[in-house]
Amino acid sequence: MAMLNLFSRETCNQTIMMKMKRIFFLLCMVCSLSANVKAQQTGTFIDKVYLGGNFTFNYGRFYDVFEVAPNVGYYITPQFVLGSGVSFSRYGYRYEFQEKYYKSSDKYYGLSFFTRYYLSKKEEQILNNVYIHGEYEYLKSKLNSRSVQSDKKVYSHWVPLAGIGYRQILKNRFALSFSLLFDLKDADHSPYRNPIMRIGIEF
């Protein structure tokens, strides 16, 4: 009976955590979509479009990560951005199994849609460069690391991401962005491990 109660408690906690993650993601999206979406009075279409992307590199004792993800965004208002991008990432693993060492890698191909909301439109305020980020990414993965026999497994799934970031404008339209995101679904086949740190550029 004690084991049954423990199992029920753990299941309940997991359910609560999943609901909290979903609520947090929805709040981030609502904060972004609640921006005033009136068209800007000045500036051409090209002025409101930016090109950019982000990259990730991490190397550890048992794994390494490489990701490149170009994207394009459009400023609906000076504070509110909608955009889309593609991505490619490779995760390398090194592990021990039955007293033997193995190396393997997983590859992911993605298509994402994102929204970003800057907390202020006044250039003199630091909040002008602080933003809330919400993203939904479709990933197709080829996984080799799930089996030492290296039989490939292909998965397709959606990944909800949400978090905050900071943009540092360097010159004219060129800027660096630093984002701290969380995978709210945290599925077994997701390449992400929370928290997710991204460094991006835009111009």
The whole-angstrom separation of Cα 161 and Cα 29 is 10
Integer CA distances (angstroms), 174 to 56, 57, 161, in order: 19, 22, 25
pTM of the model: 0.70
Beta partners for residue 72, in sequence order:
51, 84
Give pLDDT, residue 25: 53
Segment 130-150 mean pLDDT: 78
The larger pLDDT score, comparing residue 188 to residue 117, is at 117
The whole-angstrom separation of Cα 106 and Cα 116 is 29
Segment 184-190 mean pLDDT: 79
CB 179 within 8 A of CB 200: yes
Q: Of 57, 56, 54, 88, nearest to 71 (Cα)?
A: 54
The larger pLDDT score, comparing residue 29 to residue 37, is at 29
pLDDT in tens, 103-139: 777 888 999 999 999 998 766 667 889 999 999 999 9
The larger pLDDT score, comparing residue 144 to residue 41, is at 144
pLDDT in tens, 152-171: 577 788 899 999 999 998 88
Q: What CATH architecture applies to the domain 2-35+42-202?
A: Beta Barrel (2.40)
Q: Torsions phi, psi of 27, nearest 5?
A: -65, -40
Q: Of 142, 134, 149, nearest to 191 (Cα)?
A: 142
Give pLDDT, residue 152: 56
Q: Of 202, 181, 176, 179, nearest to 192 (Cα)?
A: 181
The larger pLDDT score, comparing residue 27 to residue 95, is at 95
Name the pLDDT band for 196 (thresholds 50, 70, 90). Answer: confident
Q: Of 113, 111, 59, 63, nearest to 88 (Cα)?
A: 111
CB 181 within 8 A of CB 196: yes
Give pLDDT, residue 141: 83
| Least confident range of 16-25, 82-91, 161-170 | 16-25
Domain segments of the chain as ranges: 2-35+42-202
CB 107 within 8 A of CB 142: yes
Integer CA distances (angstroms), 118 to 41, 99, 138, 167, 183, in order: 18, 52, 25, 9, 21
Give pLDDT, residue 154: 77
Give pLDDT, residue 42: 53
The whole-angstrom separation of Cα 44 and Cα 3 is 65
Q: Of 176, 108, 115, 166, nearest to 142 (Cα)?
A: 108
Q: State how beta strands 153-171 and 174-183 pair.
A: antiparallel
pLDDT in tens, 30-84: 444 443 344 344 568 888 999 999 877 777 777 788 889 999 999 999 899 999 9
